[in-house]
Chains A and B, each alone.
Chain A
Amino acid sequence: MTTYDVYVAGGAVLFALGTYGLLERSHLVHKVIAANFMGSGIFLVLIGLANRTPTPEPDPVPQAMVLTGIVVTVAMTALGLAIVKRYFSETGRTTLDADEKPGERR
Chain B
Amino acid sequence: MNVVHHLPALLVITPLVGACVAFVAGRRVAPHVALATATADVVLAVLFAARVLAEGPFRYRIGGWGAPMGIDLVADGMAALFIVLTSIVGLVVTVYASGYFRSTDPTAYGHGLFWTLWLFMWTSLNGLFLTGDVFNVYVCIELVGISAVALVTISGGPDALRAGMRYLFASMLGAMTYLLGVALLYASAGAVDMATLSERLVPDTTAATGLALMVAALVLKTALVPAHFWLPTAHASAPTPVSAALSALVVKGSYFVVLRLMLDVMPDGYLPGAATLLGVLGAAAIVWGSVQALVQTRIKLLVAYSTVAQIGYLFLVFPLARNGRDVLALALTGALVHATAHGLAKGGLFLAAGGLITRFGHDRLAEMRGAARAVPVLTFAVALSGVTMMGLPPSGGFAAKWLLISAALTSGEWWWAVVLVVGGLLAAAYMFRLVAILIADAPAETAPAPKPVRTEWLPLALTAAAVLLLFAVPLISDLAAASTTLQSAGVTP
Chain A contact-residue range equals 20 to 34
A83 at the interface (CB under 8 A from B): yes
The CA of A32 and the CA of B70, in the complex, are separated in Å by: 32
What residues on B are CB-neighbors of A19 within 8 Å? 173, 176
A98 (CB) vs chain B CBs: closest residue: B162
B368 at the interface (CB under 8 A from A): no
A65 at the interface (CB under 8 A from B): yes
What residues on B are CB-neighbors of A41 within 8 Å? 180
Question: A83 and B165: CB pair below 8 A?
Answer: yes
What residues on A are CB-neighbors of B179 within 8 Å? 39, 42, 69
What residues on B are CB-neighbors of A68 within 8 Å? 135, 139
Question: A22 and B173: CB pair below 8 A?
Answer: yes
B183 at the interface (CB under 8 A from A): yes
18 pairs, CB–CB < 8 Å, chain A vs chain B: A18-B176, A38-B180, A39-B176, A41-B180, A42-B176, A42-B180, A45-B187, A52-B187, A62-B183, A65-B182, A72-B138, A76-B172, A80-B172, A83-B149, A83-B153, A84-B165, A87-B162, A87-B165
Closest 6 CB pairs of A and B: A38-B176, A35-B172, A87-B161, A72-B142, A45-B183, A91-B158
A79 at the interface (CB under 8 A from B): yes
The CA of A41 and the CA of B169, in the complex, are separated in Å by: 17
User: Which interface residue of A18, A31, A72 has the most chain B CB atoms within 10 A?
Assistant: A72
**Complex partner residue of B164 from A35, A72, A83, CB under 8 angstroms:** A83
**Residues in A lying within 8 Å of B, measured CB to CB:** 15, 18-19, 22-23, 28, 31, 35, 38-39, 41-42, 45-46, 49, 52, 60-62, 65, 68-69, 72, 75-76, 79-80, 83-84, 86-87, 90-91, 96
Q: A45-B183, A68-B139, A75-B146 are in contact. Are A83 and B161 (CB under 8 A)?
A: yes
The CA of A38 and the CA of B186, in the complex, are separated in Å by: 18
The CA of A79 and the CA of B117, in the complex, are separated in Å by: 13
What residues on A are CB-neighbors of B150 within 8 Å? 79
- By secondary structure, the B interface counts as helix
The CA of A31 and the CA of B169, in the complex, are separated in Å by: 8
**Residues in B lying within 8 Å of A, measured CB to CB:** 68-69, 135, 138-139, 142-143, 145-146, 149-150, 153, 156-158, 161-162, 164-166, 168-169, 171-173, 175-176, 179-180, 182-184, 186-187, 192
The CA of A87 and the CA of B149, in the complex, are separated in Å by: 14
Q: Shortest distance in angstroms between A27's beta carbon and chain B's nearest beta carbon?
A: 12
**Complex partner residue of A83 from B135, B168, B176, CB under 8 angstroms:** B168
What residues on A are CB-neighbors of B162 within 8 Å? 87, 96
Q: Shortest distance in angstroms between A15's beta carbon and chain B's nearest beta carbon?
A: 6
User: Which interface residue of B156, B176, B192 has the most chain A CB atoms within 10 A?
Assistant: B176
What residues on B are CB-neighbors of A61 within 8 Å? 68-69, 186, 192
Q: Shortest distance in angstroms between A56's beta carbon and chain B's nearest beta carbon?
A: 18
What residues on A are CB-neighbors of B183 within 8 Å? 42, 45-46, 49, 62, 65
Q: Shortest distance in angstroms between A30's beta carbon and chain B's nearest beta carbon?
A: 11
A62 (CB) vs chain B CBs: closest residue: B186
Q: Shortest distance in angstroms between A44's beta carbon and chain B's nearest beta carbon?
A: 10
**Complex partner residue of B169 from A22, A42, A49, A60, CB under 8 angstroms:** A22
What residues on A are CB-neighbors of B145 within 8 Å? 76
Question: B186 and A49: CB pair below 8 A?
Answer: yes
Q: A49-B183, A87-B161 are in contact. Are A65 and B135 (CB under 8 A)?
A: yes
Q: Shortest distance in angstroms between B233's beta carbon and chain A's nearest beta carbon?
A: 10
B157 (CB) vs chain A CBs: closest residue: A90
Q: A42-B183, A61-B192 are in contact. List 18 more A-B contacts (CB 8 A).
A: A15-B176, A19-B176, A22-B169, A42-B180, A45-B184, A45-B187, A46-B186, A49-B183, A49-B186, A49-B187, A61-B186, A65-B182, A72-B142, A76-B146, A87-B158, A87-B162, A90-B158, A91-B158
Question: B153 and A86: CB pair below 8 A?
Answer: yes
Question: A96 and B172: CB pair below 8 A?
Answer: no
**Complex partner residue of A96 from B165, B176, B192, CB under 8 angstroms:** B165
What residues on A are CB-neighbors of B158 within 8 Å? 87, 90-91
What residues on B are CB-neighbors of A31 within 8 Å? 169
The CA of A49 and the CA of B358, in the complex, are separated in Å by: 55
Question: B168 and A80: CB pair below 8 A?
Answer: yes
The CA of A52 and the CA of B162, in the complex, are separated in Å by: 43
The CA of A26 and the CA of B146, in the complex, are separated in Å by: 21
The CA of A39 and the CA of B164, in the complex, are separated in Å by: 21
Q: Shortest distance in angstroms between A19's beta carbon and chain B's nearest beta carbon?
A: 7
The CA of A61 and the CA of B176, in the complex, are separated in Å by: 18
Q: Shortest distance in angstroms between B34's beta carbon and chain A's nearest beta carbon?
A: 21
B180 (CB) vs chain A CBs: closest residue: A42
B191 (CB) vs chain A CBs: closest residue: A61
The CA of A15 and the CA of B143, in the complex, are separated in Å by: 21
What residues on B are CB-neighbors of A18 within 8 Å? 176
Question: A90 and B176: CB pair below 8 A?
Answer: no
The CA of A4 and the CA of B164, in the complex, are separated in Å by: 38
The CA of A42 and the CA of B68, in the complex, are separated in Å by: 21
B152 (CB) vs chain A CBs: closest residue: A83
The CA of A38 and the CA of B169, in the complex, are separated in Å by: 12
What residues on B are CB-neighbors of A35 within 8 Å? 169, 172-173, 176
